[in-house]
Structure 1
């Protein structure tokens, strides 16, 4: 384990120990607020009940997101309703999927689609993942062999995306996406999965794994809260800009009614 110390601390604050973990895929679940606060700031509604199940809904009510730590083995679930040419879809991710990887997918749900054609495999290739085909299956594996991304198609035509990570001790998680899941969302997930950026965890939340590299850093609470607030502020700004643009666009679905003169009274 290596140690780093941050400079520029102000008076009256006590430094706290945190840890940068690589690869991020084996960093453990993390703080779910990294995901949920961004969605709230993007206009998502909290539909949670008293049962403890976290449930959120997109502003247009087309997507529902839930976090259930109580039903074993626990999971994150994202469901999209059928709309026009888009079929109903679902993504189910294990409880210990790092929140940074979850956010790669859920953040994308708050943004307009890019005009470019999505490519799930491109972000993996950029990080030197090993790709191969096995019959109807296409597989990519991280350089260290600890994470994977599969597209599996059975003989009966059923298909799904399957991803995850596991260390030598069998600790890890997996995720499944129906074949109808929009490709730009699967691409956003694969980008987050392959990212070389480390994940940060506080003292006591570092996984016991021989396959991770851990760097200790000392942080002030104001530094950590500042980074978290910057993420929320960015979401609010993007939401405001998007809503303002939508409100200012002319309505193309209806034509302006022609002006009709009203006869005045004559004296």
Structure 2
């Protein structure tokens, strides 16, 4: 996929038919630009090759987000390199994972971590997901078609697993290693549990009786404005963070004096 293919939301009027789809976990994959344009606006480096998979690297080079539709099963792969203070980790989300849910995770990669301790289950419980605790902790959506599970099969053998299904079978899966930072997993569950519907164009609503749809007429310019607002917010947040780093006063360490270098005045 080229940058030209993955940028630009404009189009000709008049209004086009779209649908608001709920619950969002059964809405289908959606437009990849919802994820990739936010990363680009946040200063991530686009390493994609024309005609190849999408690849974005974080400004510090520690995290890579990729989307590959050319392999089976394909989908999203996000990897964090091991550092001196953090183990390596990775997440895999299948192609039909709704982009709004993927973006919950990837948007969080661009923001500073909150000082509050993360709570993965809180967003689910607050939106009436039922939690069962045992060897594996599982939360089930109110419609019974989506789950999040912390799977513990033995010592040092654990991972996060989420997925959705409809009457035709499994629609998407997502897995996160146990070393995935918890605040990122919480960002994922927050986006997953969000009760607001998501928008899909005509012809892109999954053929399932498990979703509720509301028809709306939307002009391409309106879609462009909504997407631009998201991009503008990402750029503003990035500029603010960079400005803070540039203006933050540096702490100068006091020179170290060895025992043999001290002289006594007389």
TM-score, normalised with respect to structure 1: 0.89
**Number of equivalences:** 244
> For the residues of structure 2 that align with 1:83 and 1:253, how far apart are their CA atoms?
25
Partner of 1:208: 207
> For the residues of structure 2 that align with 1:34 and 1:114, how far apart are their CA atoms?
23
> For the residues of structure 2 that align with 1:171 and 1:162, how far apart are their CA atoms?
13
Partner of 2:239: 240
Residues 80 and 89, structure 2, Cα contact 8 Å, conserved in 1: yes
Change over 3 Å in CA distance of 1:253–1:212 after alignment to 2: farther
Q: Deviations over 1:59-106 (max 9, x none)?
A: 011100000011011110000011232100000001100000000000
Deviation at 1:52, TM superposition (A): 1.0
| SS of residue in 1 equivalent to 2:119 | coil
Deviates more, 1:42-51 or 1:15-24: 42-51
> For the residues of structure 1 that align with 2:230 and 2:36, how far apart are their CA atoms?
11
Q: Deviations over 1:176-207 (max 9, x none)?
A: 00000000000000001111011111111111
Residues 38 and 107, structure 2, Cα contact 8 Å, conserved in 1: yes
Partner of 2:16: 16
| SS of residue in 1 equivalent to 2:86 | coil
> For the residues of structure 2 that align with 1:158 and 1:146, how far apart are their CA atoms?
26
Deviates more, 1:214-223 or 1:46-55: 46-55
Partner of 1:100: 100
2:133 is the counterpart of 1:133: yes
2:119 is the counterpart of 1:109: no
Partner of 2:25: 25
Moved over 4 A (4+): 253-256
Deviation at 1:49, TM superposition (A): 2.6
2:46 is the counterpart of 1:49: no
Structure 1: which 5+ residue stretches go unaligned? 1-11, 257-267
> For the residues of structure 2 that align with 1:62 and 1:29, how far apart are their CA atoms?
26
Deviates more, 1:42-51 or 1:222-231: 42-51
Q: Deviations over 1:149-168 (max 9, x none)?
A: 00011124300000011112
> For the residues of structure 1 that align with 2:239 and 2:175, how far apart are their CA atoms?
33
| SS of residue in 1 equivalent to 2:204 | coil
> For the residues of structure 2 that align with 1:234 and 1:253, how far apart are their CA atoms?
34
Partner of 2:90: 90
TM-score, normalised with respect to structure 2: 0.89
